[in-house]
Structures are given as structure tokens and as C-alpha cells.
Structure 1
Amino acid sequence: MLEIILCSLVTILPDYLYRRYVQGKRLGREITLFSVWYELRFGIITCFMLAVALITMIFYFHPSTTSATLYYRTVPIVPEATGRVAEVHRDFSAPVKKGEVIFKLDSSKQEAALETARRKIAEIDAALLAAQADILKSEGQLQEAKGAYQQASDELETKRELQRRSPGMVPQRDIEKLEVLLAGRQGSVDAATASKQSATIRVTALLPAEKASAQATLAEAQVDLDKTTIRAGFDGRVEQFGLRVGDVVNPMIRSAGILIPEGAGRRALAAGFGQIEGQVMKVGMVAEATCISKPWTIIPMVITSVQDYIAAGQFRGGEQLVDTQQSVRPGTILVLMEPIYQGGLEGVTPGSSCIANAYTSNHDRIASKETGAFKGFALHVVDAVGIVHAMLLRIQALLLPIKTLVLSGH
């Protein structure tokens, strides 16, 4: 309507003034309800064509959308293991800081496993002390075996020397017995040496390995116990947290609640513009927005990101072919807009629906020496008509509470 009024000022109004003051035709006399079309046909047709061109130019170079929302990410509160709730540390809606406990699961099984691992380490420590005593015992047995071996060896050498000096003085049978005895004593020395080595290996290698394994089991049990205490991974707020003691939570099918990060939905506004405006939307464009949760306020913004893909064209590979008729509605170009001034989104509730306008700026092209006079004038016109869309946005912001509260029937 505003575009038609503006166009009529330069088309229908001059045509009427010509008919009135040049041709002498007056309203209600020569120009009536039945003859107005014939008398002002040139102005009406020109107004219609100019209005269509103006509306097309405004909506193309200064696009607008009502599909703008302050999206925010929610994080489900999910434990790593299934369990029954033993303690709840937060209310239905409450702020949380990073590391604070939200709730605890029943940990009797994990505590028993942790205590078993501790007892295993204590058992290995006791076995280590016993093995050290075995080393001392083996050393004593080795010394005893070496002494017996030395005694048998000395006795055999003495009798051999007597046999050499006086043949027949020492019976050959005694010498053979001593040789057999010496071989037996050597076996005792070897057995004592092996026993000492076994005890030493048990102290230096086997038991330390068993202790390290038991300590790893203890650490694993401690981790399982820590998993029963669910803490906040970041600063945020729990909402609609209806968990109660005795509830069973499952990481696969049942979460405990929702955690909303601090500052979520307060950084950027996501807006979807029509596909025909894909060549116009650029990073750095100035934009404006008004939101339902903060009426009568225009928020200056700037486009910081333009998504290169349209969500409606995505598909997930499967056993069926994709039919393009399944896309009932054409997708939009996702654009992220951030407020120009710090705190521009303060007071706007995350998730609020908004209306957004983006404005094309050709200042650099107009200032360029390569731009001709006619083209520069056309670019001036393109930039100037953006004020029409800005006026429409302010009218929408003014009427938004009335439309929502009165005309919608709520």
C-alpha cells in the first residue's frame, strides 16, 4: 500500500492535475466513478507498472523475512551408565556452574568394586613382604648348600691326595661315594640358586606387575564411581528438571533433563531468506530486526554468515530413490545476523520469533570512478528505496503487539 501511494504521487496525481487544470475536467462532473478509468487510464496504468517495478526492486535488493529466530543449543543431561537416582541437587529450574553436582546415582556396586581393588593392592603388598622374606630364606639355603658342597669337595680332594701318595690306603669305594655326594651337593647349590632367582623375580617383576594391574583396576573402579556423580560440564541453567530420587535414567532411551549453556541464543539471529535473493545476500550487509518478545524496538544488525547450502536439498542415502516432489516447500537461505552494538539482543528471549530486513549498499560502487553517471544514479535509486522497507519494518514493529494480542484472537 505504501508503494502504491508513493507511485500514485508521480503518476495518477500529475495525470489528474492535467485533466483538471488543462482540460478543465472536474471530479464529480466530467470525472466520475464510472469514467475515472477512462479519464486517468494513463496515470493508473503507469502507477500499476511503476508500483510493480518498485515493489520488485525493494524486495529483491532489500529482502525481508518473518522466518527469523534466536536459535540456541540445548544439551541433554545423560549419565554414561544406567542407574537409579540416589540424590538430586537441583530444582525444576536453577542455574549451575561448571563442575557443580546435578544429581547422583546409586553407587553401592561401584563402591564395592573400589573396595575390592583396594583390598587386592593390600594383598599384593603383603605378598611382596613375604617374597622379600623368601629371598632371605633362599640366600640362607644357598649359603648352607655352598658350605656342604665345599666340605664334600675338600674331603674328596684329601682322600684323592692320600690315594695318590699311598695307593691302596683309601678304598676306591670311599672316593666314589664322595664323588656322588659332591654331585648331590652341587645339585643342592643349583636348587638354592634357582630358588633365590625365583624369589627375586617375584619381588622385582611379578608382584610389581600384579600391583600395577591392581592399581589400574582401582583407577577403573574410581572412574566408574565418579560416573555416578553427574556434574555440569559448563556454566548454564537446568530447565524443566523433574528428576526425582528413585527414577531410573538410561543413556540410550531416557535422559535426566536439559542443560542450557549460559548465553545461549543471545549472540546471533538466524534468518531464512528466499532463494531468489541468493545473489544479493552478502556478508557485511546492514540489517534490522524486531522481535515479538521485545516489541516496539528496532535492533540494528549486520550479516556475519551466509550458508552456502539450502537445507531442503539434503538427503540421507538409503534404500529408496529421492523424489524431488517430496520437497513440498522450497528451502530458504540461512543467514546469521549479529547486533552491531554490544548488548543489542538484551531483553530478547532466546527462541523468540523475529522479523528481519537486510539492506543492499552500493556506496563503494557509486564512489568508484569506473561507474558511469546513469549507473550511479540507478544505484542511488536502489539504495534510496531501502527507506521504504525500513518504514514498513517500523510499521510492523508498531502494529506487532496489536496484531498479536488483539487481531489474533488471544
Structure 2
Amino acid sequence: MLEFLACSMLTILPDYLFRRFWQGKRIGKDITLFSMWYELRYGLSACFILTVSLITLIFYFHPSTTSVSSYFRTVTLLSETPGRVVDVMVKNNRAVKAGDPLFKLDDSSQRAAVATARAATYEVDAARLLATDDLRVAQANLDAAEAAFEQTKDEFERKNTLYQENSPAVTVREVERLENLIQERLAAVDSAHSAVESVKHRLETQIPAQMDSAEAALHQAEVELAKMIVYAGEDGRVEQFGLQVGDYINPILRPAGILVPSHSGRGRFQAGFGQLTAQILHPGMLAEMSCLSSPMRVTPMVIVSVQDVIPAGQIRPSDSLRDPQDNKRPGTVIAFLEPLYEGGTDHLPPGSQCEVNAYTNNHERLQDPDIGTGEFVALHVIDTVGYAHALILRFRAILMPFRVLVFSGGH
């Protein structure tokens, strides 16, 4: 309507003035409702062509969309293991901090597992003490075996010397007996030494490994016990949290509630523009936004990035080939917007439904001294008609409460 009124001032009004004051024709006599097309055919035709051209120019170089929102992610409150609730620490619709306990499950079996694992560590400690005593016994046996070996060896050498000197005090049988006894004592020394090494291996290798295994089992049991209390992973607000003592929680079938992070979805909006504007949208492009959650207010924004793919082309591997004609919608070019000034969107709750106008800015190109006259005029016209689009957005922002509350049934 605004474009038509502006164009009519440049086409229909001059045509009428010409016919009124130059040809002397008057409304109601020479220019009637039935003769209007013939009398004002040049103005009406020019107005139609100019209006269509102006609307095309505005919406192409200054694209707009009503598919704008700030998407936020929620965190499902779940326990890692199923269990029955024994305590609820927070209430629904309450703000929580990261690390705050939310609810607790029955942990009797987990506490029993911790006690069992801790008892296993005590058993390993007791085994270490017994092995230390065994080491002392084995070392004493080794010392005794070595002493017996040395004594037998000395006695053999003494009697063997007497035998070599043909002394009648020593017989051949006695020398052979001592020689065999030396071998027996030597075997006893080797056995005692092996016993000492076996106990050392128990102390240095087996028992530490058993202790590591027992401590790992204890740590695992303590971790499982800690899982019985569910904590908030980040700052936010709990919603749909109707948990009661005695409820049974299952991580697959029955969650406890939802945590809405306090920072998710704030300060960043996603806008879906038509594919025709793919060559116009670019990072750094200025925009204005009006939201249903904050009527009669226009927020300056800036496009920070443009998604380089169109969601309508997304596919997943399946057993059937994708046919392009099955696409129900052509898809949009998604642009990501942030407030031009810090804190500019603090008044908008995440999930707000908005509409956005983006504006082409040719200021830098107009500063080029080598620009031609035709291009200079065309770029000025493109930048100037952006004011019409900005004016339309402000009219829509002002009329939004009336349009929603009155003409849409109050929804």
C-alpha cells in the first residue's frame, strides 16, 4: 500500500492534473468511475509498472522474513542407572547452579558394594603383613641352611684331609657320607633361597597388583554410589520437574524433568530467508528485528554468518533413492544474527518469534571515485528505498498487538 501511494504521486496524480487543468476535465462529469481507466490509462499503467518495480527492488535488495527465532537447547534430567527416588532437593520452576544436587536414588546396593570393595583392600593389607612375616621366616630358614652347609663343608674338608694323609681315624665310608651330606645341604640352601625370592615376589608384584585391583574396584563402587545423586550440569531452571519420593526413574523410559540452561539461545537468532536472496545476504549486513514477545520495539541487528547449505537438501542413507520432486518445501537460506549493540536482545526470551528486515548498504561503493553516473544513481536508489522497508517494519511493529489480539482472535 505504501509503495502504491508513493508511486501514484509520481504517475496518477500528474496525469490527473494534466487532464484537469490542461484539458479541463472534471471528476464526476468527464472523469467518472466508468471512464477512469480510459482517462487515466497512462498514469494507472505507469503506476502499476513503477509499483511492481519498486516492490521487487525493495524486497530483493532489502530482504525480509518472518521465519526468525532464537533456538535454545534443553537438558533432560536423567540418572545414569535406574532406581527409586528417596530424596528430592529442588522444586519445579526453580533456578539452580551448576553442581547443585537435584534428587537422590536408593543407594543401599551401591553402599554394600563400596563396603565389600573396601573390605577387599583390608584383606590385601593383611596379606601384605603376613607376607612380611613369611619373608622373615624364609630368610631365617635360608640363614640356617647356609650355616648347616658351611658346617658340613668344613667337616668334610677336615676329614678329607686326614683321609688323604692315610689317617686311620677316618674311613672311606665316612668321607663319602659327608660328601653326600654337602649336596643335601646345598639343595636345602637353594630351596630356602627360592622360598625367600617367592615371598619377595609376592610382596613386590602380586600384593601390589592385588591392591591396585582392590582399589580400582573400590573406586568403581564409589563412582556408582556417587551416581545415585543427580546434579545440575550447568546454570539454568528446572521445568516439568514433578518428581516425588518413591518414583521410579529409568534413563530410557522415564526422565525426571528438563533443565533449561540460562545462557542457551540468548543473543543469537536464526532467520530463514528465501533462496532468491542467497546472493544478497552476507556477514556484516545490518538488519532490524521486531518480535512478538516485545511489540512496538525494533531491535538493530547484524548478520554474523550465513549458512552455506540449504536444509532442504539434507539426506540420510536409506534403502531408497532420493527424488528431488519429493521435497515439500524449497528450503531457506539461514542467516545468524546478533544484536548490533551489547545487551540489545536481553529483553527477548529465547524462542521468541520475530520478523527481520536486512538492508543492503552500498556506502563504500559510492565512495569510489571511478564509479559511473548510472551506477551511482542506481546504488543511491537501492539504498534509499530501504527506508520504505524500514518504515513498513515499524508500522507492522506498531500494529502487531492489534493484529494479534483483535484480528487473530487473541492468540
Judge same fold: TM > 0.5, yes or no: yes
Partners in 1 of 2:305 and 2:260 — Cα distance? 24
Length, aligned pairs only = 410
Unaligned runs of 5+ in 2: none
What TM-score does the superposition give when structure 2 sets the normalisation length?
0.96
Amino acid at match of 1:241: F
Cα deviations across residues 169-191 of structure 1 (Å, max 9, x unaligned)?
42222222222222212221111
Q: Which moved more, 1:86-95 or 1:10-19?
A: 86-95
Taking the TM superposition and a 5 Å limit, the aligned residue runs for 1:176-215 are 176-215=176-215
What TM-score does the superposition give when structure 1 sets the normalisation length?
0.97
Taking the TM superposition and a 5 Å limit, the aligned residue runs for 1:139-218 are 139-218=139-218
Secondary structure of 1:334's aligned partner: strand
Q: Which moved more, 1:398-407 or 1:223-232?
A: 223-232
Name the residue aligned to 2:45: 45
Partners in 2 of 1:369 and 1:245 — Cα distance? 77
Name the residue aligned to 2:124: 124
Secondary structure of 2:296's aligned partner: strand
Cα deviations across residues 117-137 of structure 1 (Å, max 9, x unaligned)?
111111111111111111111
Partners in 2 of 1:344 and 1:337 — Cα distance? 12
Name the residue aligned to 1:74: 74
Amino acid at match of 2:272: G
Cα deviations across residues 1-53 of structure 1 (Å, max 9, x unaligned)?
11111100000000000000000000001000110110000000000000000
Taking the TM superposition and a 5 Å limit, the aligned residue runs for 1:214-253 are 214-253=214-253
- Contact 2:267–2:346, Cα closer than 8 Å, also in 1: no
1:291 aligns with 2:288: no
Taking the TM superposition and a 5 Å limit, the aligned residue runs for 1:8-407 are 8-407=8-407
CA RMSD of aligned residues (A): 1.4
Cα deviations across residues 51-85 of structure 1 (Å, max 9, x unaligned)?
00001101111111111112111122233223332
Partners in 2 of 1:39 and 1:304 — Cα distance? 52
Secondary structure of 1:369's aligned partner: coil
After TM superposition, give the deviation of residue 255 of structure 1 in Å. Answer: 2.7
Secondary structure of 1:290's aligned partner: strand
Amino acid at match of 1:71: Y
- Contact 2:104–2:230, Cα closer than 8 Å, also in 1: yes
Unaligned runs of 5+ in 1: none
Amino acid at match of 2:254: R
Amino acid at match of 1:91: K
After TM superposition, give the deviation of residue 200 of structure 1 in Å. Answer: 1.3
Partners in 1 of 2:246 and 2:60 — Cα distance? 59
After TM superposition, give the deviation of residue 377 of structure 1 in Å. Answer: 0.8
Partners in 1 of 2:264 and 2:363 — Cα distance? 35
Partners in 2 of 1:339 and 1:152 — Cα distance? 99
After TM superposition, give the deviation of residue 168 of structure 1 in Å. Answer: 4.4
Paired-residue identity, %: 49
